[in-house]
Amino acid sequence: MKKKNIPFLLSFLLFITGVLCLILYLFRIKAEDEAFVSIRGARKASEEKTEEKKDEDEGLNYYLISGEPVQEGLKDVYLKNRDVIGWIKIDGTPIDYPIMYTPDDIEYYIHRGFDKEYSFGGCIFAGEGTSIDRPSDNIITYGHHMIDKSMYHEIDRYEDEEYYKAHKYLTFDTLRQTGKYEVIAAFRTQIYPEDYDGFVYWKFVNAKDENEFNDFIEGCKSLSSVGIPTTAEYGDQLLTLSTCAYHTHNGRFVVVAKRVEGDEIDLEKEPKGVIE
């Protein structure tokens, strides 16, 4: 073999290796997302039971599971994994996932699937300080920007005004309530150093007063790349969706929405059942 052919062969082998790795990666993340199919099935079955009872009962029916009140629409999902605190769905997009929360290890699901085994795409999870009992003024959720368009890949499309108009509403149901949310801001930003004293979206969970709430809304609206007329007022429940973006180092794309409709469980009513 001529020596001048060796660099070419090495380059060719590296190219083939890279292609094979990419193919294996795509197959893996596709299989990971397909693992959510059965979870979505459990969610749909619970929802259908809830719809059947909607005309018969006021409020949401719930079960008491190991002391935790769980609305009927999430019972079957919760029984599969008790780290679930809710479910997010945006019609017309692939976003249709459980929301996980592990307060003692916030990023536990960053690379773990619903079954708690290793998963590159992980699960969508809620950030530090989340509460669904009170609930938090703002629940921040994090999801990967996956190449196969799973998880939170789609949310950066809110930069497009037509996309925003077609998907301005989303649903986010927690163990204790249902919720229809309306998008109020969508913007690019980045993760700043701890000593940065400008606007940072990820630190706002509960407002100490109305001014702090308004400052957060103003910060979101000022960065929003789409002119969204809807805003939020002190007392509104907020939901934030966050994913990676690649316009800058440690870039993020963020969507903020407010709850406009929903129902809640009535803890004064007897649960439909008690499960340990």
DSSP line for 49-102 = HHHHHTTTSSSB-EEEETTEEEEGGGHHHHHH-TTEEEEEE-TTSS-EEEEE--
Q: Which residues are CB-contacts of 275 (< 8 A; sequence separation ≥ 6)?
A: 63, 64, 65, 66, 79
User: What is the mean predicted confidence (pLDDT) over 127-152?
Assistant: 94
Report the C-alpha gap between 229 and 212 in whole angstroms: 21
Which residue reads 């307060």 in tokens? 103
The H or E element that residue 170 is part of is strand 169-174
> Which pTM does this prediction carry?
0.87
pLDDT band, very low/low/confident/very high, at 36 (cuts 50, 70, 90): confident
What is the share, in percent, of the chain residues with pLDDT greater than 70? 83
| Residue closest to 73 by CA, chosen among 175, 170, 179, 180 | 175
CATH number of 35-275: 2.40.260.10
| Residue closest to 103 by CA, chosen among 238, 205, 235 | 205
pLDDT band, very low/low/confident/very high, at 13 (cuts 50, 70, 90): low
User: What is the mean predicted confidence (pLDDT) over 99-116?
Assistant: 97
The H or E element that residue 141 is part of is strand 138-142
Please tell me which residue, 1 or 198, carries the higher pLDDT value: 198
pLDDT digits (tens, 9 = 90+) for 39-82: 888 887 777 666 655 545 567 999 999 999 999 999 999 999 99
Q: Which two tokens stand for residue 6?
A: 């060796």
Q: 55 to each of 24, 63, 272, how far by Cα in Å?
A: 49, 19, 16
| Residue closest to 47 by CA, chosen among 66, 82, 70, 75 | 75
Report the C-alpha gap between 83 and 100 in whole angstroms: 5
Sorted by where each begins, the domain ranges of the chain are 35-275
The H or E element that residue 189 is part of is strand 180-190
| Residue closest to 127 by CA, chosen among 103, 145, 146 | 103
Q: Which residues are CB-contacts of 164 (< 8 A; sequence separation ≥ 6)?
A: 158, 183, 186, 226, 228
pLDDT at 33 over 90: no
